[in-house]
A and B are shown apart, each in its own frame.
Chain A
Amino acid sequence: MESTVLRIENFSAVFGQNQVLKGVNLSIPQNRITAVMGPSGCGKTTLIRCVNRMHELTPDATVSGRILLDGEDIYATDPIIVRRQIGMVFQRRNPFPMMSIYDNVIAGYNLNGIRLAKNEKDRVVEESLRKAALWEEVKGALHRRGSFLSGGQQQRLCIARALAMQPDVLLLDEPTSALDPKSSSRIEELIVELKGAVTIMLVTHNTGQAARVSDYTAFLYLGELIEFGPSGKMFTAPKEKMTEEYLTGKFG
């Protein structure tokens, strides 16, 4: 029996007049990769943005229901703290442009005013870059700007930056859609390795990627959770007709 680290309970989200999520109930298993898939507009990106409260940056966004991280309501917690515990990597890689690789990794601490001793910082940087499979490639150039790295390396830098805060959950919003196949493949390998250390939610429109990488898959359609289950079952014999139709390209 898997333990649940993140529980989404009857969660709805409205943006202006638009109900984007409708009563979603989802239990995210610990140290597993849960893919969230569905056609454009199904609410998958909105869902993960609500999970680390990023939607609050949008003025007319309102939510109802609960999201619990290890039993604690994330909406009753300081959002800054939530975003450390639940890290996010975006579709478009976004290393801080004027910062070095080193400073990019340690940015979470600096920007939050958390002071670390130099050797502690060095340790965090090295550990995070190793976990993101980037250390060997950049160890000799930590003080170069992050923007000099290739696309795939920049994305791994963003992963390292999120991992530096030692989050419980890592949210990946289509992390490879802007990358070439080889870089995508490396990041997929990395994602599978990372689940030992962190729980992962992966939003992807690429069903092949969801199939390759995930342990569990959630299928959303028009803001509703249609089906959730082990990926093996989902991609061979899903329970819901709609899931079957989506996977066989009848829509989406």
Chain B
Amino acid sequence: METHFQQELEKLKGNLLVMATWVEEAINNAVQSLVRRDPELAQKAFEAEDRINTMDIAINSECLNLLALRQPMAADLRFITSALKIITDLERMGDQAVNIAERAVSLNREPQPKPYVDIPRMAEIAQSMVKDVLDAFVNRDSKLARSVCERDDQVDRLNDQVVKELLPHMMSDPKTLTREVHLMIVARCLERIADHATNIAEDVIFMVDGLVIKHRADTKNRELGDSL
């Protein structure tokens, strides 16, 4: 039979997944609002922001209560401290979704000269990272989490490519400058979403294995508990 504490941990996990699902949907709506030029999808992304932020505050409070009142240890402690960090990354991802939707609204006011290529590709990878990291969290799958970290470089490279392609146009044609700035910002938002997914992956690895791989700590042979 589950103890009260275990039930509380399950509840925390459930709330975290609800928040994560809202964020995933917001990112998807924002990206699709650009790709499909659909203002309603942008609106959906905007509407998600409030409830994502409210959930961030609620989960934060839930975690603090559990820490104070239950004095958790080992895996339970790591789960709760990881949850605190994960909600911060999720909340930022929600902000990035809103940024993308705002840019989409501006871009959609004008005709689209040619199809987007790199940006949807970036979105696809970033969104797959988000999906996989959430699966990794639910299933306590540190291997899947590591695969998310490995994809971050791809997104960074695509972002560089977008900038490289846009810059010459920005410098040569002032009429299209605003448009190109919006696109660069969308690419940057997607790059940030991928970074946040990577952070969450690192937190999942810590939660499951007790290993710190942030800042390449694993290659420096440092273990949790080593003194500074």
Contact = CB atoms under 8 A, between A and B. Distances in A.
Contact of A244 (B5, B74, B224, B225): B74
Nearest to B71: A208
A187 B228 CA distance: 30
A233 B71 contact: no
Contact of A248 (B74, B211, B223, B224): B74
Closest 6 pairs (CB-CB, A-B): A237-B210, A233-B225, A247-B74, A247-B73, A235-B73, A244-B74
A238 interface: yes
24 contacts: A208-B71, A211-B71, A233-B223, A235-B77, A236-B73, A236-B77, A236-B210, A236-B225, A237-B74, A237-B78, A237-B211, A237-B224, A238-B210, A243-B74, A244-B75, A247-B74, A247-B75, A247-B76, A248-B73, A248-B74, A248-B75, A248-B76, A249-B3, A249-B5
Interface centre among B72, B74, B224 (most CB of A within 10 A): B74
Interface residues of B, number: 15
Interface of B: 3, 5, 71-78, 210-211, 223-225
B140 to A, nearest CB: 12
A147 interface: no
A230 B225 contact: yes
Contacts of A230: 225
A207 interface: yes
Nearest to A241: B75
B73 A207 contact: yes
Q: Is the interface of A mostly helix, strand, loop or mixed?
A: helix
Contacts of B75: 244, 247-248
Contacts of A207: 73
Interface string A183-209: 000000000000000000000000110
Contact of A232 (B5, B72, B225): B225
Contacts of B77: 235-236
Interface centre among B73, B74, B75, B225 (most CB of A within 10 A): B73
Given A211-B73, A238-B210, A247-B74, 20 more contacts: A207-B73, A211-B71, A230-B225, A233-B223, A235-B74, A235-B77, A236-B73, A236-B74, A236-B224, A236-B225, A237-B74, A237-B78, A237-B210, A238-B74, A247-B73, A247-B76, A248-B73, A248-B75, A248-B76, A249-B3
A248 B9 CA distance: 12
Interface residues of A, number: 15
A170 B25 CA distance: 60
Nearest to B207: A237
Contacts of B74: 235-238, 243-244, 247-248
B67 to A, nearest CB: 13
Nearest to A207: B73
A39 B76 CA distance: 19
Contacts of A233: 223-225
A233 B76 CA distance: 14
Interface string A224-239: 0000001011011110
A158 B97 CA distance: 65
Contacts of B78: 236-237
Nearest to B79: A248
A191 B211 CA distance: 32
A236 B80 CA distance: 11
Contacts of A238: 74, 210
Nearest to A246: B74
A17 B14 CA distance: 50
A230 B211 CA distance: 16
Contacts of B72: 248
A243 B210 CA distance: 13
Contacts of A244: 74-75
A64 to B, nearest CB: 33
B206 to A, nearest CB: 8
Contacts of B224: 233, 236-237
Contacts of A237: 74, 78, 210-211, 224-225
A236 B211 CA distance: 11
Nearest to B76: A248
Contacts of A247: 73-76
Interface in A63-81: none
Nearest to A235: B73
